[in-house]
Every structure is written in structure tokens, then in C-alpha cells.
Structure 1
């Protein structure tokens, strides 16, 4: 056979970087991450007890039932798939994340699933229970003394090791397919179909990266559902002020006491334009809400759940005062057992000068009148 001249032409630059061993590893890694989603049942949609005559229903989407115990399981799965298909995660090299806990727990799980090392860069103030869970899932802890140093230290470790800095605070809003594909918003609306008010008037979320509010906000706008999105922000966080003033440069020097949410800077994944409303929630109100949640339902949740629940209850109260009917939904982000030494500890609350009692009284006044 005559060799075509196009194959012998030496003026064409041609570099082939394909690696069959890597492609085989990548195929298996993606399969393993996808299989986790198929293997896991959807999370429960719980109904908070309100008087039926109000015509208002309040729900909590219980994300604590994921294999790694929090809403961040969905984010970690999306971030790993995003990193894999982009060629950023490579066999044998570490994945590194800046995290206060729950994201790192979930990412450690997925790293072990595909057989790569995982390093969590966390502030020293992170709860001992969360660091234990990260290590139990196969991760290694790398502490920093200054919470704001987690970003630069993660990037430094990635450069030093040849690994990949996952950077949830940049990629959370783009790694998730907001149009569907069983994201949290898609799951919520499928589960609400049989309820008496199937289209929520409000979905209340909180913000750590901003990825969840971005996903839900985009999802409800795309088919013009009419649902509005409220983000509840704790003390010592800049998201509320940055959203209110439309200033991406705002900062907050004091770290949030509500783990997993609240940031000292406006994170790249936080998308103000998809948010209809924000509330600044006192930390004592967040703690009061989870204590009252446990008292009335037996469900024990983390502090971020309390932040969202307080905001949801305010919306319920406003709807009732206005004679409106409908449904409100918020997230049960993770379980309270991770915070036994904090939000459920009288000693810790006293040390932090947090008194939930006045806010519990407000909740009781609303629910028991």
C-alpha cells in the first residue's frame, strides 16, 4: 500500500499526549463516583409541625442522610466529577481542599473511593468531631492558625505536591448542573409534587461557598416557577453586607461561629443576582432554632440548619400575618452530633456569651399561639 503523503508531511505540528493507562484510570474513577449517586437513595423531605389551619407548610430537606452526613456530599461529588473530566485530578496525586469540616469529610470519602490521597486545610478552631470524621474517611489534616490563610496554604500545598487544589469557594457554583441531574433543587421539586402547596413560595438556604443558593436560584428561574430564594447569613459573615450594598470587596475579620457557613470575604461562587432576599441571623437565634427543632421533632441538627430555620420561621410568621397560604422550605444541612461540644454544650454557649433563651421564647410564641 502506498503511504499517503499527508502522513509523511513534516510541516504539520502534531503532539499526541494520550495515555491509555490514565484513560483507563479516569474511566474507572468516573464510574466509581457516578455509582455512588446511583447507590444512594434520595434524602428525605421532612415536614415541620405547624397548625394545619394556618394553610402554611414548612419543610426541611434532610441532607444529613447522605453517606458522609451532610449537604456537602452532593457538592463533593460534583467537584470530583468536574475535576476528573477537566483532567485536574490525577492518579496518585493528592486532592487538597480548604474547608472548615463538612466539605472535607465528603471529599475525603470520594478521594478514597477513587484511590487518591486527600489533605484538608482547616482552621485550628474546627471541631474535633469534624476532624475525626475527615481522618476516619481517609483524609489527612493540615492546620492553619489564621482562618483566612486556608486558601493560600491549600494552593501552596498543591504546587508543592503536584496535586489539585479543589477550591470549593470558586467552583461550587459551576461544578453542579443547575438545570437538573438530581441536584438538590431538582430533588426538592420532585418530592414536593404531591404536597398541597407543591411550588414553594420560598426556599431558604444558607451560604458557605454560595453554591447551593446559586444552584437553587438558577433552577427556579429557568422554568419560571415563581419560587423566591432567601439566604440566611450568620454573624461574622460578609455575604449579607456584600449583597445589600452590591459590593464584592467587603470583608469581615472575625470568623463565623456557625461552622460551614458565613465567610470573611465574598466568595467567587456566591451569586448575588439569583437571590431575592437575605436575612442577617444572630447566632443565638440559630442555636435557639436547633434546640427548639430537637424539642418539637426529635431531629438534632447543626448550627447552619438553625440559621436557615430561623429565617424560614420569620417568613412563615410574615405569611401568616398577611393571610397568605403556601409552603416554605429550608435545609437540614447536617446532624447535630457533630456539634455536641458546641451548640448543644451549655459550657461552650456560656464561653461564647450566647443566650438562646430569648429567641426560643420568640419561636414558642409563634408556634404555640
Structure 2
């Protein structure tokens, strides 16, 4: 081994050590049990908003950086590029600053000022593209022009995380439920952005031979549900998702439909109504993807109650609602989008008290 190779290995070793030390300093996220007016079916939310960068994507970004480092894709001075205007870019900027490499987020010009400011706070640089330009292709082009690495969350999310354990989110959920009345949940409910988290949870359930089933959630404008229902990886959606962090225009490579037992499509007004109802219930704001999870969780819990079943269900608080004060929590924005979520908010509030939710959802199951 040459001196240059030794020097490069030393930098990578130090970078991995910095990221692992950060993980050890971070306590596991809380598993919250919701207070409801019914018995026999318990609802839990794992609060991923408490990560240092404020979202579930902190786990993904950590895994992506470690994966790229051990595969020698990120080296000293090499720029890291990502196609993301949301929470993934925020978290990746955090880890890039930690190990001292430049970070570029390729994003639409319409990205909110709050997201841009947060990425730049961590030292990231925002590279804007016009409508109609492929974020994927532009990120790959920019990385090549910089001599950098396109970290590509949409391809690598499902392989960067150790789905067998090693403190992944699935292992954490089951550890935290161990002393509860129903320690093995009937359902885990999870929306898809890259598909990496559903892949991790679904694989872990099968690896541990658990009776839990996985309910996938997709927003109104996204290709995942159609791809799942029609067994069509070429499915697309022309309209961009209005629920940040989840939903994609194509079926991403990291989306593994085979590990999902059932999938539902949650209308945006239902998701944002559930978001507001849950925020009121908790006394603090949550984001829109959490609302999608919450509506699907309540829908499945209501089905269990109607069928006389008992057990527990788990989903995630993906991020805080403070990032969405100018969108999901702004009446003007909702009006501009033609979204009236008042009825859905009232329906979820009533569900918390009664366990009754009659709203139908479009659903599909694996054979």
C-alpha cells in the first residue's frame, strides 16, 4: 500500500469515526403511545423529528454517507451531490459539514425559503433547476463536472441500511415495544419517499419471522401505489407530490413492493386534516408526511375495531411541522391548492374519541 493510499484510508477512517461518534451521542427517538377513547387497539408513533437535523431522513443520510465512505466513493475533498429539496438534503448537508466535504443539493427553483436556509445553515450549496428538468440527470451531471459523487438516495436507500438489525429503525421499534401489552404490532404503517424505510422494516419483519404486517402509504400524486397495485415498475405520475418527503414521479429503485403486505393511497386533504388533528392532540405541529401516515394508521385501526380485533399499530412522526408554516399550516396556501381539510380533521378528532372512521381509502394487497 502506497503512502497516498494510507493517507486516504486514514481520512476515511476518521470520517467514519466522526459519524459513528455522532450516532452514539444521539439517544434513540421516543416511541409515543397515543391517548384515545377506546380500548383494545393501541396506537404508537416513533418520533423521528427529534434527530439532530429534525427528521427521519437523518437516519438515511447517515447510512448513505457510511455506505459511500466504505465503498470509497467519498474521499477527502470530493464533493457530494444529491437530488433533493427536502429533509434528505438538510441531513446530508449536516454530515458533509461534519466530515469536511462540499455538499450540493440539486433542487427545483420553487423550493421553499425555509428549506434553502436550513441547507445553507449546514454549509450546503443549492443548485436550482427549471421546471421540466430532471433532478436525477442534473445531479449526475453536476457530480461529474465537479469530479464529485452523486450519492443518489433513490437508488441506494434500500441497500445502505443494515435491515437485519444494527440499531435500525425496525429493531428500535420492536425493542421499545417489548414491555407493552401488545409487543408485536399487528401493523406498521409507513409512507414511501425513496422506499428505503419500508424496505428496511419489511425485510426485518421477515428476517425475524414476526407476525407483523406492513401497510405502505402513498400520497395523492405519486407513482408508488400504481406501481404496487399493477405490479408495474414503469408506472409514473406527471404531477409532483404536494406532501413533501413522500411520493415520487416514478417507482424508485429503492422501493421494494414485495415486502409490503398492503398499500393505500391517502388523498392530500385527508393527510393534512390528520396532520392538523394529530398536532392538536400532541400539542405541537407535525409535518404532512406524518399526516399521511396518521390517516392510514387510523383507517387500519378502525378496521381492526370493526372486526373485533385487538393489538397495536405503529407509525412515524417523520418531521416537525415548523418547516411548513407557510404551506400546510397557511390557509392561503391551502386555498390556492384547492384543499379543504376541515372534514378530515374532524373525522380524525372523532376517531381519537370513538375508534370510528368510515372514510374509504383506495387499497391494494400483495398476492
Q: CA separation in 1, counterparts of 2:67 and 2:243? A: 28
Per-residue deviation, 1:18: 6.0
Q: Residue 142 of structure 1 aligns to a residue in which SS?
A: strand
Q: Which residue of the other structure, out of 50, 58, 63, is the alignment partner of 2:48?
A: 63
Where does 1:17-56 land on structure 2 (aligned, <5 Å)?
19-51=5-37, 53-56=38-41
Q: Residue 217 of structure 2 aligns to a residue in which SS?
A: strand
Count matched residues: 354
Superposed CA deviations along residues 89-127 of structure 1, whole A, max 9, x for unmatched, are 011121000012100000000000000000001122222
Indicate the RMSD between aligned Cα atoms, in angstroms: 1.3
Q: CA separation in 2, counterparts of 1:139 and 1:228? A: 38
Q: CA separation in 2, counterparts of 1:49 and 1:32? A: 39
Per-residue deviation, 1:152: 0.3
* 1:305 is aligned to 2:273: no
Q: Residue 120 of structure 1 aligns to a residue in which SS?
A: strand
TM-score, normalised via structure 1 length: 0.94
Q: CA separation in 1, counterparts of 2:279 and 2:208? A: 36
Where does 1:63-142 land on structure 2 (aligned, <5 Å)?
63-142=48-127
In the other structure, the counterpart of 1:353 is 338
Q: CA separation in 1, counterparts of 2:4 and 2:159? A: 27
Superposed CA deviations along residues 249-290 of structure 1, whole A, max 9, x for unmatched, are 011011000011000000000000000011100000110011
Superposed CA deviations along residues 24-48 of structure 1, whole A, max 9, x for unmatched, are 1111011001111111000011111
* 1:264 is aligned to 2:249: yes
Q: CA separation in 1, counterparts of 2:187 and 2:112? A: 32
User: Which consecutive unaligned segments of at least 5 residues does structure 1 have?
Assistant: 1-14
Name which one, 1 or 2, has greater alpha-carbon Rg: 1
Which of structure 1's runs of 4+ aligned residues deviate more than 4 A? Answer: 15-18
Per-residue deviation, 1:358: 1.5
Q: Which residue of the other structure, out of 150, 168, 181, is the alignment partner of 2:153?
A: 168
In the other structure, the counterpart of 2:347 is 362
User: Which consecutive unaligned segments of at least 5 residues does structure 2 have?
Assistant: 355-367
Per-residue deviation, 1:17: 9.1
* 1:284 is aligned to 2:247: no
TM-score, normalised via structure 2 length: 0.94
